[in-house]
Amino acid sequence: MLLRVRDLQVHYGPFQALFGVSLEIDEGEAVCLLGGNGAGKTTTLRALMGALPISGGTVELLGQRVEHRASHELAAMGMIHVPEGRELFPSLTVLENLELGCVTPGTRRRSAETLAVVLDLFPALRGRRRQLAGTLSGGEQQMVAIGRGLMGRPKLLMLDEPSLGLAPVLVDAVFATLERIKAEGTTIVVVEQHIHHALRVCGRGYVLEGGRIAQEGSTADLGRSDRLRAAYLGM
Ligand SMILES: Nc1ncnc2c1ncn2[C@@H]1O[C@H](COP(=O)(O)OP(=O)(O)OP(=O)(O)O)[C@@H](O)[C@H]1O
Ligand SMILES: [Mg+2]
């Protein structure tokens, strides 16, 4: 088991956002977190990444308890988060943003090698290495955000709505890239509103509703779920 989350609880002041979320992710899996606006998807990822204090529950990464570790420690352990809204540094170049993803001395040493892999995955960035990130299109920014995550050589790559705001053709491109990243052995957790894409790339999924896991299962079963179809596919 790569990641085991038990009974995760999160409060924002008096407001409880997560009511005992439990997840299990095996090495090499791609798992999606689905759910409507405000269901707690971002909160779950941020709590797992040490970006939010938790009020209960445990998180084990490869058998080690990590729920009170800081984000940078988790990143150094291979748990890497591509945040919602990308969060690039607009006045740094593409290359500088990518290099910020090298979070350990080991990944810094191998940065040229990893950069070659990232540019191979995102050829559109190759000619834009010196361009300021703030001047990129939305799709290009998303590529940099995912590329920055990959520069840290993740064991577990967690992406929050990588397709947000992208034209359909770019959404396809992002998911094709995730399929390649998965094929190379990286474990993926992805929050996604375009559920048909998430269901294609991911083997399993969890559905959050009101801060609780309402459904879980293989994506084949979730794709057939009347409740999910009604909620997200408008079918
Ligand atoms: N900083 C905050 N302070 C107070 N409440 C918050 C804060 N961040 C999130 N919430 C609340 O927690 C709940 C879960 O929010 P979260 O951002 O995790 O949802 P989400 O599933 O990611 O939704 P979306 O699909 O809109 O991104 C929502 O009701 C939200 O209003
Ligand atoms: Mg969100």
Tell me the percentage of the chain whose pLDDT exceeds 90. 74
Per-residue pLDDT at 118: 93
Instruction: Tell me the average pLDDT across 36-54.
Output: 94
Per-residue pLDDT at 230: 66
43 CB within 6 A, ligand 1: yes
Residues 206/44, Cβ–Cβ less than 8 Å:
no
More confident residue, 177 or 10: 10
Instruction: Tell me the average pLDDT across 209-221.
Output: 93
53 CB within 6 A, ligand 1: no
Segments of 54-180 assigned E as strands: 56-61, 64-65, 79-82, 156-160
- Per-residue pLDDT for 235 more than 90? no
* Terminal Cα-to-Cα distance of the chain (whole angstroms): 35
- CA-nearest residue, atom 13 of ligand 1: 38
**pLDDT for 105-164, tens place per residue?**
999 999 999 999 999 989 999 999 999 999 999 889 999 999 999 999 999 999 999 988
- CA-nearest residue, atom 30 of ligand 1: 38
In sequence order, the 6+-apart residues with CB closer than 8 A to the CB of 19 are 9, 210, 211, 212
Q: What confidence category does residue 193 fall into, taking pLDDT thresholds of 50, 70 and 90?
A: confident
**pLDDT for 70-92, tens place per residue?**
999 999 999 999 988 778 999 99
Residue 16 CA to residue 32 CA, distance in Å, equals: 23
39 CB within 6 A, ligand 1: yes
Number of H helices, E strands in the chain: 10, 10
Chain length of the chain: 235
- CA-nearest residue, atom 26 of ligand 1: 37
Tell me the percentage of the chain whose pLDDT exceeds 70. 97
In 10 A of CB 4, how many CB atoms?
Answer: 17
Kind plus residue range of the DSSP H or E element containing 229: none
Q: Break the chain into its structural domains and give their ranges.
A: 3-233
> What is the whole-number distance in angstroms between the Cα of residue 35 and the centre of ligand 1?
12
Closest ligand to residue 53's CA? 1
12 CB within 6 A, ligand 1: yes
In sequence order, the 6+-apart residues with CB closer than 8 A to the CB of 37 are none
Pairing of strands 204-209, 30-34: parallel
Instruction: Tell me the average pLDDT across 89-102.
Output: 96
Backbone Cα Rg of the chain:
17
Mutate to test the pocket of ligand 1, among 32, 41, 45 (most ligand atoms within 8 A of CB): 41
Helix 168-183, helix 138-151: angle, nearest 10 = 10
pTM of the model: 0.93
Enter the CATH code of domain 3-233. 3.40.50.300
> What is the whole-number distance in angstroms between the Cα of residue 45 and the centre of ligand 2?
9
In sequence order, the 6+-apart residues with CB closer than 8 A to the CB of 130 are 93, 94, 95
Per-residue pLDDT at 164: 84
